[in-house]
Chains A and B, each alone.
Chain A
Amino acid sequence: MAHAHNHGHDFHHEHGSELSEMQLRTRAIETILLEKGYIEQAAIDELIETYEKKIGPRNGAQVVAKAWVDPKFRKWLLEDGTAAIGSLGFGGRSGNHLVALENTPLLHNMVVCTLCSCYPWAVLGLPPLWYKSAPYRSRAVADPRGVLKDFGIELPKDTEIRVWDSTAELRYMVVPMRPAGTEGWSEEKLADLVTRDSMIGTGFPKSPKDLK
């Protein structure tokens, strides 16, 4: 049924004649499940709406911003991530075994799922394609410094890079270091600095000048 194409770096996208094939096959599954009474259409629509529009990295940014301003919350977050994010209304699917990882000047954390695409949906939404693709999955655990170069990042040689391979149902989010020049900022303004990639470990938060 599925046939292989030489897509080069683009192999993870469907396009051309394959697009209608996957569309039809997906629709076939949906139609059968609807007709046999396993699912309601509204359930499908609700799920798509939820993850397209409602749950995303903004959740995680709020968590990080709060950890930056509130030392008690930060401590709680690092000790019991699930409970701490739960206090902000986040949790549930891919978020009920949440562990927060603290970046320091000597330790940089990176999160991957080499075996599939496990990702902390509750705080980051659905993962980007690069996270789920072979280059990241294969290289993050063996050559994280090389992967960071693909993101334009170079860390000092004596910084430990700790890579977390999500092999069970624990889901990880990185708490990046707070950017300089943000003293006295509100949580909401700080949250604007927190990028999704900084919470995966393949980026840094924006700096104040990036927001101007």
Chain B
Amino acid sequence: MNGGHDIGGMDGFGPVQPEPNEPVFHSQWEKRAFALTLAAGVAGGWNIDMSRFARENRPPNEYLTMSYYQIWFAALEAMLKERALVSDDEIAAGQTLKAPKPVSCILKADDVARVLYHGDPTERETKTKPAFKAGDRVRAKMMNPVTHTRLPRYVRGHLGTIDRVIGCHVFPDSNAAGAGENPQWLYTVRFDGGELWGADADPSVTVSVDAWEPYLLPA
């Protein structure tokens, strides 16, 4: 969706402000929001693409005002409620009010190290062949789905070059919508700064994105 998160190329946010000696978490609740999101993901059975969409899927004015972990937490609440794992009443009361819905799997403390080490590889086997090869000129599609996508607005419609054929990977646009992994060929596509930002742009800049095949057309 063209949400508040898709801000590549936007002006007005001011300078980048690195924080010296920044802690990993700025407060206790942030630690818990982070850990809860990961742990609840196991019980809730959602995938990372669904999580990302849950974060993006809010009014842009809210997205841009909430802190990083506020967004994570709001998305967590939304996904738990969507799956009837927690209700609004229970959130307001701060406690369980009815019998928990059974789930197939929960994250145990002993599993954490193994689960984190295993990670979430997204590469999948395929019998299909990639449509493009390194060096090919491609055009990023003009597309504006209201659902999850990973093609930022600032590249849409622009001409780039295939830098690398990455492999066949879970396709977020399908996976986030619960339509299955639908793995697609994934490429690194490089765009000249001038192509993206116009004739006055810095000629020494290029921008690369990783784009799945359904995002691309031959040039």
Residues of A within 8 A of B (CB): 4, 6, 8, 11, 134, 142
Kindly state the separation between the CA atoms of A11 and B59 in the bound complex, as whole angstroms: 10
Partner of B60, one of A4, A6, A134: A134
Contact B144 A142 (CB under 8 A): yes
Instruction: List 10 contacting pairs A-B, 8 Å CB cutoff, sorted by A.
Output: A4-B61, A4-B65, A6-B62, A8-B59, A11-B59, A11-B61, A134-B59, A134-B60, A134-B61, A142-B144
Which residues of the other chain, B, contact A11 by a CB distance below 8 angstroms?
59, 61
**Minimum CB–CB distance for B55 against chain A, Å:** 15
Which residues of chain B have a CB within 8 Å of any CB of chain A? 59-62, 65, 144
Q: Which residues of A contact B59 (CB under 8 A)?
A: 8, 11, 134
- Residues on B with beta carbons closer than 8 Å to the beta carbon of A142: 144
Can you add 5 more A-B contacts, CB < 8 Å, to A4-B61, A4-B65, A8-B59?
A6-B62, A11-B61, A134-B59, A134-B61, A142-B144
Nearest-neighbour CB distance to chain A for B101, whole angstroms, equals: 28
CB distance from A79 to the nearest CB of B (A): 35
Shortest distance from the beta carbon of A144 to any chain B beta carbon, whole Å: 14
Chain A residues whose C-beta falls within 8 Å of the C-beta of B61 in the assembled complex: 4, 11, 134
CA gap between A112 and B61 in the complex, in Å: 20
Shortest Cβ distance from B63 into chain A, in angstroms? 11
Instruction: Give, as a whole number of angstroms, the nearest-CB distance from A19 to chain B.
Output: 19
B66 CB to closest chain A CB, in angstroms?
A: 8
The closest CB in chain B to the CB of A12 belongs to B61
Closest B residue, CB atoms, query A6 = B62
State in angstroms the CA–CA spacing of A145 and B56 once bound together.
Answer: 24
